[in-house]
Amino acid sequence: MVAKEVALVMPKMSMTMTEGVFVAWHKAAGDRIRQGDVVCEVTTDKVDMEVEATVDGVLARLVARPEDVIAVGEPIAYVESEADDLLEGLFDAPEASGPVPEEPRAPEPQPVRAAEKRGVAAVPAARRLAAERGVDLAALTPTGPWGTIRVADLPAGRLAKPAPARGRAAVARRMTPSALVPQFVLYRDVDLAGAERARNGASWTAVFVHVLAAALRAHPAFNASWSGDTLVRHEGVAVALAVDTPRGLLAPVLTDPDLCGLDELGSRVADVVSRAKAGKLGLAELSAPATTTVSNLGGLGVGAFQALLTPPQASALAMGAVERKVVPVPDGVGVRLRCSLGLTVDHRVADGADGARLLSTVQELLDGGLV
């Protein structure tokens, strides 16, 4: 069996993924690998993912380098493999008896983007410092001989700045379009006396995921997105839950969280939060389309805040601290368990009064609608 080079390509890990950023090699050139071995790590716009070998063989050539942006389907590396290709020859023309006309060779897949990056001439120290500081060499103007980037061509700053956490870039990419959405925020303190009796140990986060989903189902106009110049309504409700993790902000998606009991939802929320912090979320959980987001900073002592919309979602709920507050009650003042909510709304989808009605539904659900 003759060894041949098989390309290991950037996988398409979600419907919306068109390119990935190469993160790190887990194997070195020359390493023997088996199908299923983790070869490298790439990051999509949502999460870091491990890329597995698709064939047995020897990792012959590494094409991608850290920070390379590689289109889906473009090679990351080439594997020298003797593995049988069951499709090999299947689509070839039937063997002719006479002399076979020479077929033009299929062009080798070209690692276009990676090659462009590799074309940047820079002294080794400049490469090292650029990597440390998270500077894109290709964006610099070379002033050295032969058009080579010198150390002096790097942005000033002797102190090596730590490279931004990988999660930051993902957050930046996802949240920048938010600035194009006309959005307003409604604040309302909700009373949690009823919910406190009913929640049966479930976390407040789970409670609000549940009631927000149920409220959206009751106000289907909110469970929509503005697309182009029309309103697109969504069938199901899916709540993205913002989770603070060591690798940055992640937002695993809980689909139809109001259709199961609060006990079960409590377990689901606890599970995704712990797996998010451990970096064990599946891609599907992160890339499922969400129709709204819940963000809870109450545990960090925040009283109330404004969450930004994550386009194309039309709403986002910001939870402040759940705490006992002195509030007016009939005939005087009293102490009640309360929480300040901030509801952010895409003004193209709904108006302020619609948002106010949604919050009223939330309060009603808290008062007695919990399952």
Partner 1 sequence: MTTTESRTLTYAEAVREALSQAMEADERVFLLGEDVGTYGGAFGVTGDLVHRFGEERVRDTPISELGIVGAAVGAALAGMRPIVEIQFSDFTAQAMDQIVNQAAKIHFMLGGAATVPMVLRAPGGSGTGAAAQHSQSLEAWFAHVPGLKVVMPATAADAKGLLLAAIDDPNPVIVLEHKLLYKQSGVVPQSPARVRLGETAVRRDGTDLTIVATGVMVSRALEAAEQLAATGIEAAVLDPRTLRPLDSKTIVDSVTATGRALLVQEAPKTGGFMAEVSAAIVESPAFGHLTAPVTRLCGLDVPIPYAPQLEKAAVPQTEDIVKAATGLVNQW
Site of interaction with partner 1 (CB under 8 A) = 123-128, 144-145, 150-151
Q: How far is the CB of 311 from partner 1 (least distance, A)?
A: 41
Least CB distance from residue 122 to partner 1, whole Å? Answer: 10
Q: Which is nearer to partner 1, 150 or 268 (CB)?
A: 150
Strand partners for 317: 294, 343
In degrees, to the nearest 5, what angle opens at C-alpha 230 toward C-alphas 228 and 232? 105
Residue 152: CB minimum distance to partner 1, A: 8
d(CA 371, CA 267): 15
H helix intervals, 75-203: 112-118, 124-133, 166-175, 193-198
Measured CA to CA, the distance from residue 40 to residue 10 in angstroms comes to: 10
Q: Which DSSP symbol is given to 368?
A: I
How many Å apart are CA 267 and CA 366, to the nearest integer? 19
User: How many Cβ atoms from other residues are within 10 Å of residue 280's Cβ?
Assistant: 11
> CA nearest 151: which of 133, 118, 129, 132?
129
Answer whether 272's CB lies under 8 Å from 285's CB: yes
The token duo for 51 is: 């890329």
Residue 288: CB minimum distance to partner 1, A: 42
Q: DSSP class of residue 367?
A: I
Which residue, 124 or 328, has its beta carbon nearer to partner 1?
Answer: 124
Q: Provide the CA 206 distance to its chain's centre, in angstroms.
A: 21
Q: Which is nearer to partner 1, 137 or 273 (CB)?
A: 137
Q: Which amino acid is at 234?
A: H
Find residue 354's DSSP bridge partners. Answer: none
Please say which residue, 123 or 297, places its beta carbon nearer to partner 1.
Answer: 123
Whole-number minimum distance, CB 166 to partner 1, in Å? 22
Residues facing 189 on adjacent strands: 340
* 60: helix, strand or coil: strand
- 134 vs 144, beta carbon nearer partner 1: 144
CB of 151 or CB of 249, closer to partner 1? 151
CB of 349 to partner 1, least distance (A): 53
**Distance of closest approach, residue 147 Cβ to partner 1, in angstroms:** 13
Nearer to partner 1, 121 or 175 (CB): 121
